[in-house]
Structure 1
Amino acid sequence: MTDLHRLSVREIAEGLAQGKFSSRELTEHYLKRIAKIDAHVQSYVTVTAEQAFVQADAADALRKAGNATFLTGIPIAHKDIFCTQGIKTTAGSKILDNFISPYDATVVTKGKDAGLVTLGKVNMDEFAMGSTSESSYFGATKNPWALDHVPGGSSGGSAAAVAADLAPFATGTDTGGSIRQPASFCGLTGLKPTYGRVSRFGMIAYASSLDQGGPMARSAEDCAYLMNVMAGHDAKDSTSMEKDVDDYVANLNGTSVKGLCIGIPKQYFNVQGLDAEVKARVEESLKKLEEMGAVLVEIDLNMTDAYVPTYYLIAPAEASSNLQRFDGVRYGYRCENPVDLMDLYKRSRSEGFGKEVQRRILIGTYALSAGYYDAYYVKAQKVRRLIQQDFLKAFESVDVIAAPSAPTTAYKIGANLSPTEMYLGDIYTLAVNLAGLPAINAPVGFDKENLPVGLQLIGNYWSESQLLSVVHQYQQATDWHSKRAAIAEENA
């Protein structure tokens, strides 16, 4: 029973169904691993052991009564941006350090309905603003592959928890690459669904037209199981689409790689700052897909230079609007001894928000201010439409588009990248959110420092099944997704 953390989600589910172990035993196994290992990784903000055992016992009772779903009793970690009833929800910020949510996010509710057991809430960049998970009020999460490196962000806690085998899978959110980039840095599979595919209700907003929740796990198959839980229309979210949900697990072999047309944007592979080893590993993975029958076609995506400036006008503008509710009045952090209402607002926000969040609020407020709204925000929205059209034109001739997930492997903790350097690190992921498209990261090898490299596949709208299927078949032919960091091999 010492190697339960090495099982895939399907193997865990089958073991539970066959009575090889109980949900309580499985949950206890993961909680012991968290207690032993997470001091080194710092992926969890809150561990909910007491609640987890209650849920695990309930799952075992359901299974004994013959009322279990396939996933009943399997543990999960939730990014600390999803509201959880009775449990602290911080979004990685001091301003929400004392916030106990009175309700569950829809994603959390769906997990409970499927019988999943919540192990706890995992760390993240403050309000999802960052690419390293260093901006969290609760300290930096470490990359399990190299503890002096970052796990990526903003879903760095989710990525680190799964990569260290401290949860079988985890929820993440992606506003500009926050699932795909940490999945790349930590050697995982991570799916950013089509905008509107997963409910945003109860997910603390960063940029409402860009945010989307998705699964993070070791393999496409494991992600497919969690997508079956997360996806679907939600009347509580006005941006949630009323569209039939695929059975992502049943469709894992539904797309034939043979004859699949993969677009290779020449602009993406000539980006200044693209690491040579990252480029080599991505090209090797594309060669493997070609050997499996895929057809590689060079394409043009002419709006590449507009990705970063467009995103960093729209996202901060929406953040400026969304974060005005955190004012020290109704909930969250409140400064001590304010002299008047204005002092309460100013000090609560300046003391409660970190530097990166303040920077983006100020940028967004400026872009929305009188005299600059049309010049910046409106113009950025027009460019956003051109970026979307650029992708749609490409999809007229190709099935999916390939790119690196990030131009480099994981940064060292404390590298002190300038804001511009950090923003340019998202060059390959931002446009997917601007266009509302789905995209997936798959691990495809390592650099000379044994840090993971990720391949990104971008699909047309509602093509999550296709993306999961292509990556699943690639993973049947390779073993990069099964590689484990040394810390993940430790037994509790």
Structure 2
Amino acid sequence: MNTTDLAFASALTQAQLIRSREISPLDLVSLYLDRIQQLDSQLGSYVTVIADQALADAKAKTEQLAGAPSDLPAFFGVPIAIKDLTAVQGVRCTYGSPALLDNVSAYDDAVVARIKQAGFVILGKTSVSELGSLPYTEPVGLPVVRNPWNLDHTAGGSSGGAAAAVAAGLCPIAQGSDGGGSVRGPAFCCGLVGLKPARGRVSFAPVGDHQSGIGVNGVLARTVADAAALLDVMAGYVVGDPYWLPDPERPFLQNAQPNATSGRTYRIAYTTEVPPIGKADPDCQQAVLDTARHLEQLGHQLEANCPDFSGLEEPFVVIWRAGVATAGLPAEVLSPFNRWLLSQQDSSGTYLKAVWAMQMVARRLVSFFEQYDALLLPVYLHPAIQVNEWGELPPEETLQRIIHWIAPCPPANATGQPAIAIPTGLSSTGLPVGVQLIGRPADEATILALAAQIEATYGWRQRPDFAEV
């Protein structure tokens, strides 16, 4: 296996190679740090690389490995990247703002603590859109994140840096977060698997939820199995969490296999549009239709049907834009778009009415799944936009463009249902496309099993030419 093949090996494969002493943690960390040094100046995927800490951790783990320990944590010595909205003790956390370049976290978020306990070596923090508010990662005063498949296009957002890093082979897997498609969208843009777990599956401890449950920690990976395995690591209740779910009956990884359904037939609805917002473009429509046909050939029952998404847009926007105000930054340090969002802040009464309205729509959406095991739909309504494509537009128009592009994603944030993005190929212009599965509440197991079947059908393992070094 050459170094590029090793860089693109799955995290589970790398963990096994370390266990069998075929490679060492130091080998892997050095490989990724070299690739970051060579490529990331063009890509902008990392805002902070903690090379010294990563090397020290890798050396210590390599020495530990030499002692032939009888048991090792699941991902001992495997590198990972953490999104720059997530706290890592002793490492700066900028939230995509130059005003916070000196902000160093005093603690680990619970999800980071679990990642460390699983044996991962953290390489650094991946770039995010300012305050995580945008579906493209172009923070003013910080590097723009570009798509490894075409550097003129965005890698998505807000987990754009995470997606670009995994897609370019600058880490094998990454933690992200999703409050309106911020894991699934970048995964779609960059040809990856993006998993948004169910609400309450992964803790936000030691802090709380500040946007009425729309956000959740998630995974960006190259394989469904890797995504499931990292969810096994991250999942679990922490005392005081506002939402929680019982532990799954069996590890998520066991569900992420093509044969995990054991011949079971699932009833799956599919749609190529999000009424009343609009239809997907031809490439994204075709991805859904082709996937529906493949799933039907595998024995599942497919039915063209669509939930009633009406009434969600207005309350969701009220809740989403409140995130800018919670950051507590003065307007003068914000980008023009976020400054505009801050000026649009609503009264507490308006916010609570929006929460109530979103919950009512969510009840209707969840009731749709009484008939179906999953919903197959686009991830976004068209492939990745160009870098700065909307940069000169007035904020009001930018917001409408965003709403139309990401429309298939927010419903699962409103309901708290699990969802996963799976790559299916390339568009007519050479950009990645894929599909999304939304599952029943708390039922990651079903969508992981179906995603593994889709993955096996398409055999997607391609990597961008940019990454071949």
Normalising by structure 1, we get a TM-score of: 0.88
SS at match of 1:228: helix
CA contact (8 A) 1:153 1:178 kept: yes
SS at match of 2:198: coil
Q: What residue identity is the alignment partner of 2:311?
A: A
Distance 1:204 1:33, change over 3 A: farther
Aligned to 1:29: 31
Aligned to 2:121: 117
CA contact (8 A) 2:276 2:310 kept: no
Aligned to 1:428: 408
Tell me the distance in 1 between the aligned counterparts of 2:140 and 2:298. 42
CA contact (8 A) 1:258 1:292 kept: no
Which 5+ residue runs of structure 2 have no aligned equivalent?
none
1:219 maps to which of 223, 237, 246: 223
1:360 maps to which of 341, 344, 353: 341
Q: Deviations over 1:420-448 (max 9, x none)?
A: 21232221111111111110000012111
Q: What residue identity is the alignment partner of 1:17?
A: R
Tell me the distance in 1 between the aligned counterparts of 2:363 and 2:160. 31
Aligned to 2:213: 209
Aligned to 2:7: 5
Q: What residue identity is the alignment partner of 1:216?
A: L
CA contact (8 A) 2:81 2:123 kept: yes
Aligned to 1:414: 388
Tell me the distance in 2 between the aligned counterparts of 1:390 and 1:402. 18
Q: What residue identity is the alignment partner of 2:135?
A: S
CA contact (8 A) 2:208 2:241 kept: no
Q: Are residues 1:487 and 2:466 paired?
A: yes
Normalising by structure 2, we get a TM-score of: 0.92
Say how many residue pairs are matched: 456
Tell me the distance in 2 between the aligned counterparts of 1:74 and 1:214. 18
The Cα shift of 1:271 comes to 5.0
Q: Are residues 1:14 and 2:16 paired?
A: yes
Q: What residue identity is the alignment partner of 1:411?
A: I
Alignment of 1:442-453 (within 5 A): 442-453=422-433
Q: Are residues 1:92 and 2:71 paired?
A: no
Tell me the distance in 1 between the aligned counterparts of 2:454 and 2:263. 9
The Cα shift of 1:150 comes to 0.3
Distance 1:137 1:432, change over 3 A: farther
SS at match of 1:401: strand
SS at match of 2:81: strand
Moved more, 391-400 or 148-157: 391-400
The Cα shift of 1:68 comes to 1.5
1:315 maps to which of 315, 320, 334: 320
Q: Are residues 1:76 and 2:80 paired?
A: yes
Tell me the distance in 1 between the aligned counterparts of 2:207 and 2:122. 16
Tell me the distance in 1 between the aligned counterparts of 2:191 and 2:206. 28
Aligned to 1:340: none
Q: What residue identity is the alignment partner of 1:26?
A: L
Distance 1:171 1:281, change over 3 A: same
CA contact (8 A) 1:388 1:434 kept: yes
Tell me the distance in 1 between the aligned counterparts of 2:279 and 2:371. 29
Tell me the distance in 2 between the aligned counterparts of 1:210 and 1:446. 30
Aligned to 2:355: 381
Tell me the distance in 2 between the aligned counterparts of 1:152 and 1:293. 34
2:256 maps to which of 231, 237, 252: 252
Tell me the distance in 2 between the aligned counterparts of 1:119 and 1:87. 11
Tell me the distance in 2 between the aligned counterparts of 1:256 and 1:384. 37
Tell me the distance in 2 between the aligned counterparts of 1:95 and 1:203. 21
Tell me the distance in 2 between the aligned counterparts of 1:195 and 1:399. 18
SS at match of 1:149: strand
CA contact (8 A) 1:169 1:218 kept: yes
Moved more, 262-271 or 410-419: 262-271
SS at match of 1:283: helix
Q: Are residues 1:243 and 2:249 paired?
A: no
The Cα shift of 1:195 comes to 1.1
1:475 maps to which of 435, 448, 455: 455
Identical pairs, percent: 32
The Cα shift of 1:180 comes to 0.5
Tell me the distance in 2 between the aligned counterparts of 1:166 and 1:240. 34
Tell me the distance in 2 between the aligned counterparts of 1:160 and 1:149. 11
Tell me the distance in 2 between the aligned counterparts of 1:137 and 1:201. 30
The Cα shift of 1:240 comes to 4.1
The Cα shift of 1:319 comes to 4.1
Q: Are residues 1:190 and 2:194 paired?
A: yes
Aligned to 1:290: 296
Distance 1:204 1:119, change over 3 A: farther
Q: What residue identity is the alignment partner of 1:18?
A: S
1:461 maps to which of 428, 441, 447: 441
Q: Deviations over 1:358-394 (max 9, x none)?
A: 2222223xx216xxx2xx4343223212321222221
> Please, what is the CA RMSD of the aligned residues?
2.0
Tell me the distance in 1 between the aligned counterparts of 2:320 and 2:262. 36
The Cα shift of 1:269 comes to 7.7
Tell me the distance in 2 between the aligned counterparts of 1:71 and 1:93. 31
Q: Are residues 1:391 and 2:393 paired?
A: no
Tell me the distance in 1 between the aligned counterparts of 2:214 and 2:140. 21
The Cα shift of 1:399 comes to 0.2
The Cα shift of 1:95 comes to 2.7
1:262 maps to which of 268, 281, 284: 268
Which 5+ residue runs of structure 1 have no aligned equivalent?
327-348
CA contact (8 A) 1:208 1:318 kept: no
Tell me the distance in 1 between the aligned counterparts of 2:195 and 2:420. 4
The Cα shift of 1:174 comes to 0.4
CA contact (8 A) 1:210 1:433 kept: yes
Distance 1:388 1:204, change over 3 A: closer
Q: What residue identity is the alignment partner of 2:332?
A: E
Tell me the distance in 2 between the aligned counterparts of 1:27 and 1:57. 9
Q: Deviations over 1:59-85 (max 9, x none)?
A: 223433334123100000000111111
Q: What residue identity is the alignment partner of 2:242?
A: T
Distance 1:230 1:361, change over 3 A: same
Distance 1:317 1:163, change over 3 A: same
The Cα shift of 1:194 comes to 0.8
1:38 maps to which of 30, 37, 40: 40
Q: What residue identity is the alignment partner of 2:408?
A: Y
Q: What residue identity is the alignment partner of 2:310?
A: D
